[in-house]
Every structure is written in structure tokens, then in C-alpha cells.
Structure 1
Amino acid sequence: MSLPSTSQTTVAEKDNDTSIRRSLSNLSKDEEQAVSLTPADRTRVLRKLDLHLLPFVSLLFLLAFLDRSNIGNARVAGMARDLDLHGLRYNIAAAVFCIPFALAEIPSNVMLKLFRPSRWIPSIMVAWGLVMTLMCLVNTYEGLVIARVFLGLTESGLFPGISYYLSLWYPKRNLAVRIAVFFGAGTIAGAFGGILAYGIEHMEGIGGLHGWQWIFCLEGLFTILAALLTFFFMHDYPDQASFLTSLEQEHLTLMLQEERSATQAQFNREFVWEALKDYKAYLQVGIQYGILITAQSIMLFAPTIVNQLGYTAARAQLLIVPIFVAGCLATVIVGILSDKYNSRGPFIVGGCIVSIVGYIVLYTHKTPAVGYVGAIIGSMGAYPCVPINLAWAGGNASGSDLKRGVVLAMVIGLGNLGGICAAFIYYDGPQFHVGHGTIMGWLGLSCILSLVAMWDCRRSNKIKEAICKAEGIDENRKQEFAHLGEQSPLFRYTI
């Protein structure tokens, strides 16, 4: 993709820079003295953001997760039989989604920077909603594969886009729990999807469509309706938020300017290359591989695994609900704790270990009930790691909003290529030893890479501390080094 040079400024860029310049620029000393920020002020502003932003973006991601994961519900509801998905055909249909999904995420976040979020995000929602709705007309395996390719392409921008969008509103210390709430909505979509599929599949024969086709049709129409509303109700940037008073906007500016410089709002392709060359981003990508392969496998195969444990197809649709509800609750709770202690790596390591325990239970179970408990434990350990890793990557990518957006898109996009692996490891039912064993290996890798990233962040912080001590640099000189972003001797990486 060809990016414009800094000398070629579009109308959208000008609007973008104008809209965020105040909230991302440094306040003058007079303004800092005029606007005092107490803990109560900080809490009030954050709660107001939570009330107006989180429910909305959570709904969007719930719909996205519902649309990408309903293929698992449709499979159990009769799609495998009607489309003759023998052998690895279902696995291939599940896997092809991940390729365009991963490759389009970085360009999508660049486009989000060029255009307003309230225009770009609803537009891609309309696109994937149309694809999802038209999937009800699929009547061959080949048609299903093609539809999944286009679904992955059109849906690719939402997850990294919203993660980036939230990073523009919240200080990095307060970001993990917000991404956790937003991601938790996607997790709960697995439960909601099971309940919805249980009811919709009873529409078998209505309008000449099978029950699983109605799953695609109705869920796609829900997405289109939500997208049309998003055009009118989504706020773009902090200084344009009509729900904040002018004083609250000043308070939010003070909170954000602590970690952002005047270069933050600029569009410069050098920030893209800076992100692509950052080795720390690739460490986060590696961590994301292990936890996303686990999350994707749960999403794609939970109905099948529960069905293979000995439960009927109809009961399997309902029995997956506690698996995703438990994962959602764990995601929010761990996100709160991660922000409270301003720590990321230890929570990822802990979550991976918990999930490994669950998969050991699944691997060794002798009765369906025990295996079912193992599935719940695996979900509770894996799902919280995803938003925490995103908050870790985004918080440590400082210096430019564009760099942060590209890093997040890299972690999400390249990490989602792991979905190809997830799609092909569950084929040896009913025990699924290959699938469960592979997941344990990937979770182990995420543990190791998290420990490496923690060591690297700690090492870098010690070097910066030594420089500050040797040269007498303290917080009073923060603005002097603000333009350096994470290269500033006063910047500290979150561990």
C-alpha cells in the first residue's frame, strides 16, 4: 500500500490533526496551573468515558465475534451435512478467514488514521454485515470458502481499530481493563451465539432456507443495523466529545499529555517503518500467537468438542454458554487487577499456566463432565491474556499515535495468522489429543516469550534509570524529552 508523504496532506488528515491537536498537545504552564487535576477529577472523567464509549464499542465487537464464530454453531446445526464438509473441508473454510483478516489489519489502521473513526469503522461494518447476510445463500463448499475470505477481509479492521481508538482516549495505565471489557464482549458472544443458534436453527425450512442459513442471515442483518446507528453515535476524538464539559476535556488533556508529545497527531510514514522495525513488537506478536491460537480454537471448536464429549448437538449449543461466560468474567477481573498493579507480563504468564492446566484435564479426562470442566478452565486462563497483551504492546509503543496503531495492528494481524493453525489441529475426535497437545505447546511458548519481554523491559528501564542518575535528569525535564517518545530517558516500559 502506498502511503502519502508528509508533504501531501489530505482534507481528512487536516481534520484529524485539527480535531486531536488540543487533546494530544502539551498544555502550557499557565494552563497546567489553571486546571488542577485531583484523583476525584480523574475518576469522574474516566467513568464518563466508560459510560459513553465502552458499551458502544463492546456491542460492535460482540457482533464481529458473533459473525466470525457462528460457523462453529452452523456446523453443528447441519451445515457440515448439507455442504458435504467431509475430511478437512470445515478446517479449510475456517482457516481461509484468517489470511485476509491478518494481512488487511495494518492498512486498515492506517486508513483509520487518515479518516475519522466514525466513518471508517461503520463502513467496514456495513461491508462485513452484507457478506454475512449473503452467506445464507451459500449452498456449496466452494461458496463457503469464498464467503469466508471476504468476511475476513471486511472484518479485519474492527479489532485493531477499536484497540487503537481506545488508546487515543485512555492513559496507558488505565487501558488494560477497558480493552478487557471490550474483548470480553467478544468472549460473551460465544455464549450468546450458542443461545441464538439454538433458537434460530428451529427456523429450518422457513423461506426455503436451512436453520444454519438463517443463523448467517439474521446475525448479518443485526450487524448492518448496528453499523447504520454507528454513523450517528460514534465519537471521534476527545476534544470533539459532546458528553464532556470543557473543564472535563481539559482534565482529559492533562491525563493524556503525561505520556504523549506534540508529534503524536502527525501523519508520517516514518512512524510506520519505526513500528515495523521494533523488535519488541515481534515479541508481542509471538506471545499473541500462543494465546490467540488457543482463543481461536475455543471459538471454532467448542460446540464440536462439547458434542464429542457425548452431548447432543442441541445441548452442545447451550453447554458452550458457561465456557464463554467464565472466560468473559475472568477477562474483566484480570484486566482490573492488571491495571491496578500496572503490570502485564505476570498476568499473561499466570493465565497461560491456568489454561495449560485446563488442557491437561481435557487431554486426560475419562468422563464427559471432567472434560467439560477442563474446557471451562482453559477458557478462563486463555481469554484474559489477549487484551492484556494488547494493552502491553500499545502502552509500550510511545512517540506516535500512528506507531501505536501499527504496532497494535501487527500484534493482532500477525497473531491472527495463528488461526490457520487453530483451524487444523482439531481433527482426531473424540479425545482430540493432537489439538489439546498442540495448544499446550503454544501456551508454553507464550509463557517463555512473556518472561523474555519482562526481562527486556526491566533491562531497558534500568539503563534509562542509570542515564537519568548519571546526567541528573528528573521529571522537571519531562517536556524536554517528550518528542523522543519511548526513547526518552524518562519513559518507563510497563512490565
Structure 2
Amino acid sequence: MGSKTEKADLPGSQSDDKVDVEQLDRTAVPPTTLQSFGHLDEKKILRKMDMRLIPMLALLYLLSFLDRGNIGNAKIEGLQEDLDITDDQYNWCLTAFFFTYAAFEVPSNLMLKKVRPSVWLPAIMVAWGIVMTLMGIVHNYAGLLSARIFLGVTEAGLFPGVAYYLTNWYKREEIQLRQAMFFSAASVAGAFSGLLAFAIGKMDQVGGLHGWQWIFILEGIATVIVAAIAFFALFDFPETAGFLTEEERAFVIYRLKYQGQNHNQNGTQIAQADEFRWKYVKDAFLDWQIWVNIFVYWGVVCPLYGISLFLPTIIRHLGYESSQAQLMTVPIYITAAVLAVVAAYFSDRVGKRSPFIVGFLLVMAAGFSMCIATDPKEHPRVVYAGVFVAACAIYPAFPGVIAWLSNNLSGSLKRSVGMAVQIGVGNLGGAMASNFYRARDAPRYMLGHGLELGFIGAGLLASLILVLGYTAENKKRARRIEEGALDSYTPQELSERGDKALTYRYVL
């Protein structure tokens, strides 16, 4: 785990405390070919990376998702009654989180380019752990609302930061499996949250505090403790990874540097641009595919937050006690976590994203249709099956949407900003979903389930637009290369154009 010492001992490297991320120049890799690394065991290197990176990242995200969603568990343990807040005020506490969460994601990813991940990610984690702990001592609506606003600020950087961070280690045909292993922590968090809430709820009146207060306090303290460990356990980038040999580091950098581009006509390889230019930031904000992809993202994230924030409440209104409702969320989340990893494995194997995303959107639609068409008083098990089916499609679809866009953004900075825009604006879907399931609509929640179906439909339409757009552009570029248009560009110009280069091919 002692990554700091390992990295400081690298031959010719700076001490880890002085590494300037902006000076990690991937263009400094000596000219070579992939065949020159043929004696290396690529699968062994990937396993080493997986073992050193994924477990800690998954733990960080588990705590992140646990801390933003545990308000749903606290609600059915008496939070709303004890704070004397109305249903609308409670929904505003959910909604406010997403405004600041969305606003701070792009700035956070830009900071990640300036500050090492092993410093930035644990630092923001300490901040939100403190906010979460203090949420356990609020006494009124204003206090809870303020805490949720600051929780959004402090949590904003983790998910887009880690999603981008992984693209600095894995090729685009490998990334969804790793995104899924990391993101499956969200579904495990859902299961873990139910179990924890069930257990912590028994601490009601311990120390003069309510059970819901202990949920916030204990989970916040756990976050701060893990953050302290993460300062020493996280690695930065392949250039300074002490668990890889010097040759393995060069190999990892090389295969990332030339991914997604075909050779030009005289055999020169086209590298991805990695330097910081404000032009690349502007390009990200103006790229059509990012904004269309956001609608796909909403088609998944609105149901995701609808489930994570309201699942215990939905199940409780099927006629179960609070403790039963907490426990009945567990099998849903565990199954969803397993399916997310399995689906990602096959998506990476076939090198396609859209067929899996579209398929899961259709399954989600079927699940919510079961809920909306069924009277929960007469057939509660059918409604439970409906949310089960929907959740088991939501969690596998989400890493696919993230991977799809990251696969189609070239250039380190543009990918960093583009993914932050996607996740930042996309997470405004959480603000919307926070108000889908109103207390007065219980137990059938026709409006909530209906709105989820509407966003799923928008996601399907946006997916179709992306597939048609990518297919047409790939064919256009191939045709222009056949006509000799490539002769007008130097390798440097093609590198600077990133995913707009004639040699770049979009992933479908």
C-alpha cells in the first residue's frame, strides 16, 4: 500500500512530494513500436494495475454513494418527524445537493490536472466526511439543507475524477470493465446502506441521539478514516507507478498514447495530445456528442437516483415494516452489482457500447412499466419485481454510458473536461429525480414511475442519434482518406485535432 515510498525510489524520478503533474510528458516516451514490447505479459500487467487501483477506488466510491444516499434510510428511521420538516422541504434537501454537485465537477477535474490524484481525491473525501458527520447534529430544516448543499460541493470531484483517472491507465476497450468494478460499489453501497441502517437504527437514544443521527455520524467518521488511508494507498499516474517496472511503465504509456487512431498513409503513428491548452477545454464544451450523450446519461441517472433515494420508501409502502424494507433492498443491489461487472466484461470483449446501453434501457422501461401498471395493494410482489428488474438494468447501464463517451474523446484534457461536463450536467438529473416520488403519490407513485419512463425514452432516442452520427462520421472519414485528404495534415496536426482527426474512429 505504501505507494509514496515506492514512487520516490524510481530511478531518475522526482520525489513524490514534488511531482508536478503538468511535467509528466507522455511525448517523452522514446519512439518505438508495440512489437518492441511483445515479450511483456499484458494480462499480467493489467492484473497488477487492477489489484493496486480498483479496490481502493471502489471503496472511495462506495462511501461516496453511501453518504449521499443514506438520507433515504434516515428518513424512514424518523428524520423527517424529528426535524419537523414537510415533504416538500425534504425533497428540497435532496434536490439542493445536485445543484452544487453539478456546478463543481468541471473545476474539480481541472484541479485534478494540477494536483496529484493521491492528494486531491483524499482531500475532498475528508471534506465530505466532515460534512456528513456534522449532518448528524442538525436540528432543523435550515441545518439539513445547508449540510446537503455543502455535501454536494465536497463530493462533486470524486466520481468524474475517478472516471477520468482510470482512462489514464486503461485503453478504451478495457475501460468499461474497470468502470463497472469501481461503479458496482454504488450498488454494493445500496445493499450495505440498508444493512447498516438496519443495525444503526437500533442505536436510537444511545447518547441521547436518534438512530438516524447515528447513521450520519458513524458513516461520516468512517469516510474520514478511509480518506486518511487513501493518502498513502492511491497511486497517481503510470509514469510514477512504483509497482510497475520501468519497461512496464513505458508500455502502459505507449499503448494509451496511440489508441483510437489509425496510422497515416506513410506509417507514422498519431499520438494523443496531452498538453494543457484552453482550446481543448473550449472544444469539450462545444462538442455535439457530449450534449447528446447527456440525454443518454439522464435516461439512466434519473432512474438511478429514483431508486437509490426512494427504494426503501417505495418498498415500505408495499406494506412492509421499516426494518423489512431496509433488508429487502439488499438482494436488489447485490444482483445489480454482479450484472454490472458481467455486462461490462462482454461489452469490452465485443468492443461495443450502444447495443448494451439500448438493451438495458429497454429492460429498465419494462421494469417501470410493471410498477406503473400494477396496484401495489393488490400485487405488492409484482411492484417489488418491477423495481428489482429496473435496478438490475440501471446499474449495468451506467458504467456503459460513462465508458461510451470516454471512448470517443481524444486528448487527455478534452476527455477530462468532457467527462466532467457529462457527469456534472447529467447529474442535474438527480435534482429532477429527487422530486419524482412525492409522498402524496404513495403507494402507487404513478407520476414518479411515469417520469422515469419518459427519461428512458429520451435516452433511447439520444442513443440512436449517437449511433447514426458516429457511423456516418466514421464512413465519411474513411472515404476522405481514400480520396487522399490525409496528405493535407501533418502527424502533429492530427494529434492536435484529437477525436476530430481523419484517422480517429468513434466506438459504437
Q: Report TM bin, short chain.
A: over 0.9
Distance in 2 of aligned mates of 1:324 and 1:137: 29
Identity %: 39
Shift of 1:478: 7.0
Relative distance call for 1:12 and 1:287 in structure 2 (3 A) is farther
Relative distance call for 1:234 and 1:436 in structure 2 (3 A) is same
What is aligned with 1:405? 416
Matched, 1:332 2:341: yes
Q: 1:419 aligns with which of 417, 430, 439?
A: 430
Indicate conservation of the 8 Å contact 1:307/1:316, yes or no: yes
Distance in 2 of aligned mates of 1:225 and 1:375: 34
Map 1:374-389; keep pairs closer than 5 Å.
374-389=386-401
Secondary structure of the residue aligned to 2:483 is helix
Per-residue deviation, residues 215-272 of structure 1 (Å, max 9, x unmatched): 0000000100011111111100102111111222122123212228666331222211
Map 1:223-302; keep pairs closer than 5 Å.
223-259=223-259, 264-302=273-311
Secondary structure of the residue aligned to 2:87 is coil
Shift of 1:112: 0.5
Indicate conservation of the 8 Å contact 2:272/2:495, yes or no: no
Please give the TM-score of this superposition, normalised by the length of structure 2: 0.90
Aligned residue identity for 1:61? Y
Distance in 2 of aligned mates of 1:26 and 1:489: 24
Indicate conservation of the 8 Å contact 2:301/2:430, yes or no: yes
Distance in 2 of aligned mates of 1:289 and 1:253: 33
Shift of 1:78: 1.0
Shift of 1:27: 3.9
Relative distance call for 1:241 and 1:14 in structure 2 (3 A) is closer
Moved more, 331-340 or 406-415: 331-340
Shift of 1:335: 1.0
Secondary structure of the residue aligned to 2:338 is helix
Aligned residue identity for 2:446? H
Aligned residue identity for 1:326? T
Aligned residue identity for 2:312? P
Q: 1:452 aligns with which of 453, 457, 465?
A: 465
Secondary structure of the residue aligned to 2:248 is helix
Indicate conservation of the 8 Å contact 1:200/1:214, yes or no: yes
Moved more, 157-166 or 284-293: 284-293
Q: 2:498 aligns with which of 481, 485, 492?
A: 485
Distance in 2 of aligned mates of 1:478 and 1:45: 29
Matched, 1:28 2:31: yes
Distance in 2 of aligned mates of 1:65 and 1:281: 24
Map 1:60-459; keep pairs closer than 5 Å.
60-259=60-259, 264-365=273-374, 366-398=378-410, 400-427=411-438, 428-459=441-472
Measured on the aligned residues, the alpha-carbon RMSD in Å equals: 2.0
Secondary structure of the residue aligned to 1:81 is helix
Aligned residue identity for 1:18? Q
Indicate conservation of the 8 Å contact 2:474/2:506, yes or no: yes
Per-residue deviation, residues 456-488 of structure 1 (Å, max 9, x unmatched): 0001100111012222869xx978833432122
What is aligned with 2:263? none
What is aligned with 2:5? none
Secondary structure of the residue aligned to 1:425 is coil
Matched, 1:57 2:57: yes
Per-residue deviation, residues 160-215 of structure 1 (Å, max 9, x unmatched): 00001001111111111111111111121000000001000101111111000000
What is aligned with 2:20? 15
Per-residue deviation, residues 116-142 of structure 1 (Å, max 9, x unmatched): 111111110010000000111011112
Distance in 1 of aligned mates of 2:387 and 2:88: 23
Shift of 1:297: 0.6
Aligned residue identity for 1:394? S
Distance in 2 of aligned mates of 1:434 and 1:13: 54
Distance in 2 of aligned mates of 1:209 and 1:83: 13
Indicate conservation of the 8 Å contact 1:128/1:154, yes or no: yes
Shift of 1:14: 7.6
Aligned residue identity for 1:397? L
Indicate conservation of the 8 Å contact 1:27/1:254, yes or no: no
Secondary structure of the residue aligned to 1:424 is coil
Indicate conservation of the 8 Å contact 2:169/2:238, yes or no: yes
Distance in 1 of aligned mates of 2:157 and 2:34: 37
Distance in 2 of aligned mates of 1:316 and 1:422: 21
Moved more, 362-371 or 70-79: 362-371
Relative distance call for 1:413 and 1:13 in structure 2 (3 A) is farther
Distance in 1 of aligned mates of 2:89 and 2:449: 20
Secondary structure of the residue aligned to 1:169 is coil
Aligned residue identity for 2:437? Y
Distance in 2 of aligned mates of 1:348 and 1:13: 42
Distance in 2 of aligned mates of 1:263 and 1:349: 29
Aligned residue identity for 1:301? F
Aligned residue identity for 1:320? T
Shift of 1:447: 0.6
Secondary structure of the residue aligned to 1:77 is coil
Shift of 1:84: 1.9
Secondary structure of the residue aligned to 1:384 is helix
Distance in 1 of aligned mates of 2:420 and 2:250: 30
Please give the TM-score of this superposition, normalised by the length of structure 1: 0.93
Indicate conservation of the 8 Å contact 2:195/2:326, yes or no: yes
Distance in 2 of aligned mates of 1:119 and 1:422: 32
Relative distance call for 1:236 and 1:222 in structure 2 (3 A) is same
Indicate conservation of the 8 Å contact 1:37/1:254, yes or no: no
Relative distance call for 1:56 and 1:334 in structure 2 (3 A) is same
Indicate conservation of the 8 Å contact 1:395/1:494, yes or no: yes
Shift of 1:289: 1.3
Indicate conservation of the 8 Å contact 1:27/1:257, yes or no: no
Distance in 2 of aligned mates of 1:370 and 1:321: 17
Q: How many residues align?
A: 477
Distance in 1 of aligned mates of 2:18 and 2:465: 38
Per-residue deviation, residues 436-473 of structure 1 (Å, max 9, x unmatched): 01101100110110011011000110011101222286
What is aligned with 1:471? 484
